[in-house]
Structure 1
Amino acid sequence: MSYSTFIQPKEAFENLQNPNFLFVDCSYSLADKSWGAEEYKKAHLPGALYADLHDDLSGEIITGKTSRHPLPQKEALVKFFSKLGIDKNVQVVAYDATAGFMAAARLWWLLRWAGHEKVAVLNGGKGAWQHAGYPLTADSSPAQPKEFIATFNDTMLASAAEVMASIKSGNNCLIDSRTADRYAGQNETIDPVAGHISTAISKPFNAKIGKTGVAEPSVYKEHFKDEYAKGNVVFYCGSGVTAAYNVLLAVYGGYPLPKLYAGSWSEWITDAARPIVTGA
């Protein structure tokens, strides 16, 4: 059996010794870039490798042009996935330290973009795993490199130009995945400009997530029903990371893969001519 959205801790534990399963710790904190790696060193799932959001799952930041977490170059991403030991037979299980799945969802999205569908996020993260009584370790395991063969699907992406065109034509449903206050232009402490992209709807990434993880798929089917009824759904957030979480939830709810505006708000505001709005 393969998993393509979420995997429960019990299912993951039952495959802990499965040679075709690869566990990847993606723990990360925007407030402290070194926190995730240190957290991994302290305690992680046995055999898990580490993927750093900033160093491994993002590309080069070009001030004034890119987002805070631009997508990696395709060649670099293929090299990294090969280094981790991912090939077509490997089931990847990504997880975060908490139930928020921020960076784990980013790894999930990147693998799907690269054509690898056997990737799932551990529901509830490391916390749920530990709560279930399953083991953690500080021992590191060496990677077993394999050849990752990518088939990138760029139809999963929307560019800033496409978003601008959709604003003018009204033929897209644009969803802002940040918290409601940042969408409204309040309490903006990360980006230099506050507000949201014109016409965007607020659907915070954490609106339907509990301390123990996600609910049944039907919850997310209902959550995104009105947006998908409009068609041509595009998700964005601050830098393309938490939006991947909303994309994951939508697919988990049974919807087809929507587009991601990966540059998101932090790229959008690099051009003063792009329309922004403040207020709920």
Structure 2
Amino acid sequence: MNNIVSLKWLLARMYEPDIVIVDCRFLMGKPDAGRELYEASHIPGAVYMDLEKDLSAPVEEDGHGGRHPLPDIFDLTVALSRVGIGNESRVVAYDDQGGAMASRLWWLLKYLGHEQVYVLDEGFTAWVNAGFPVSSEQKVLIPAKFLAEVQHSMLAEMAEIQERLGDESLTLIDSREAPRYRGEVEPLDKVAGHIPGAINRFWKDGLSESGAWKDAASQADRFADLDRERELVVYCGSGVTATPNVIALQEAGFTKVRLYAGSWSDWISYEENPIAKGDEESPSKA
């Protein structure tokens, strides 16, 4: 599957009328930084969508739904329409965070039934370093009509995971860095550890040393020990950095891939949920 497009691909098509370029830059802990970066300089014609204001719902007091709950479908549809994304648009999302924020928009659009959405390889800094054009001018927004066809099969709910712990037909993939997965450190959430039975595949291992996405064969190598017939559920801390792993798994040819959107921060909001620490072995192929 082709979910990633190159800098040169976008350069050649950036002014085509059905292309909508979305700047998704966002810095955790600095909620205004992404928009400020966008206002200073962005790919010409790009619109801005904010991780927390546009691509997430407000955090619940009890923590249910996690640190970045999925946005309300109606609210998200309105936000997409407002920036000019319609059902016929080809959407290219970029960030400067290894593709994590752009992948969140990619996943949400796929979840709403929109197929023509891509993540820009390498990101904004690479675009600048290539000498490609930038602008501080903000595009005049012309709303578009966006009708959602929600793909519920892309989503895994907490209750199902709770019920299927230990189920050999389901593989949980934790996308966080290994020390967080093992429960040795936890800089963001109240409890350290991982969901029992989950294996660890750090999402940034899907990128090369230069920050480019690895090709399909290399992504397949990352997941070579996994059974393609098993259901896969991917999670991270709050449902954002799991989405690059969803893309990587699709690029590698896996078809039974779902996202646990609330992720670890949702899981630990239920006191009865068990917690594991240390490493876990990958499930052997059937």
Bucket of the pairwise TM-score, normalised by the shorter protein: over 0.9
Deviation at 1:208, TM superposition (A): 2.7
**Any runs of at least 4 consecutive aligned residues in structure 1 with deviations exceeding 6 A, and if so which?**
none
The unaligned stretches of length 5 or more in structure 1 are: none
45-54 vs 208-217, greater mean Cα deviation: 208-217
Report the CA distance between 1:132 and its aligned residue: 1.7
- Asked if 1 retains the 8 angstrom alpha-carbon contact of 2:170 and 2:233, the reply is yes
In 1, Cα distance between equivalents of 2:246 and 2:184 = 24
Query: What displacement does 1:7 show?
Result: 0.5
- Cα pair 2:52 2:58 within 8 Å, conserved: no
Structure-1 separation of matches of 2:166 and 2:205: 29
| Residue 125 (str. 1) matches residue 96 (str. 2) | no
In 2, Cα distance between the equivalents of 1:228 and 1:5? 22
> Which runs of 5 or more residues in structure 2 are unaligned?
280-286
Which residue in the other structure is 2:61 paired with? 63
Q: Could you tell me which residue of structure 1 aligns to residue 282 of structure 2?
A: none
Q: Per the alignment, in what secondary structure is the counterpart of residue 267 of structure 1?
A: helix
Name the SS for the 1:225 alignment partner: coil
SS of the aligned residue for 1:197 comes to coil
Q: CA offsets per residue over residues 59-90 of structure 1, 9 Å max, x none?
A: 12112222000000111111111112112221
* Percent identical residues: 38
* d(CA) in 2 for partners of 1:134, 1:168: 50
Q: What is the root-mean-square deviation of aligned Cα atoms in Å?
A: 1.4
1:193 to 185, 191, 194: 191
Residues in 1 aligned to 2:136 and 2:60: alpha-carbon distance in whole angstroms = 36
Which whole-Å deviations, capped at 9, do the CAs of 1:110-166 have from their partners, x for residues lacking one?
000000010000000112211221011111112221100110001111111111122
Q: Distance in 2 between matches of 1:144 and 1:93?
A: 17
CA distance in 2, matches of 1:47, 1:257: 36
Counterpart-to-counterpart distance in 1, 2:57 and 2:34: 18
User: How is 1:211-250 mapped onto 2 (pairs within 5 angstroms)?
Assistant: 211-229=210-228, 231-250=230-249
**Cα 1:257–1:15 shift into 2, 3 Å:** farther
Q: Size of the alignment, in residue pairs?
A: 277
Which secondary structure state, in structure 1, belongs to the residue aligned with residue 173 of structure 2? strand
Q: Deviations over 1:166-222 (max 9, x none)?
A: 214332000000111100112211000000000000001111313331121111122
2:162 paired residue among 155, 161, 164: 164
Pairing partner for 1:35 from 33, 36, 45: 33
Change (3 A) 1:271 1:73: same
What is the Cα deviation at residue 230 of structure 1? 5.7
One-letter amino acid of the counterpart of residue 159, structure 1: E
Q: Distance in 2 between matches of 1:166 and 1:131?
A: 47
State whether structure 2 residue 136 is matched by structure 1 residue 138: yes
Q: Secondary structure at the match of 1:94?
A: strand
TM-score when normalising by structure 2? 0.93
For the Cα contact (< 8 Å) 2:195–2:275, is it kept in 1? Answer: yes
CA distance in 2 between partners of 1:123 and 1:164 (Å)? 35
The C-alpha deviation readout for 1:6-65, integer Å capped at 9, x for no partner, is: 110000000111111010000001121111111111110000000000000001211222
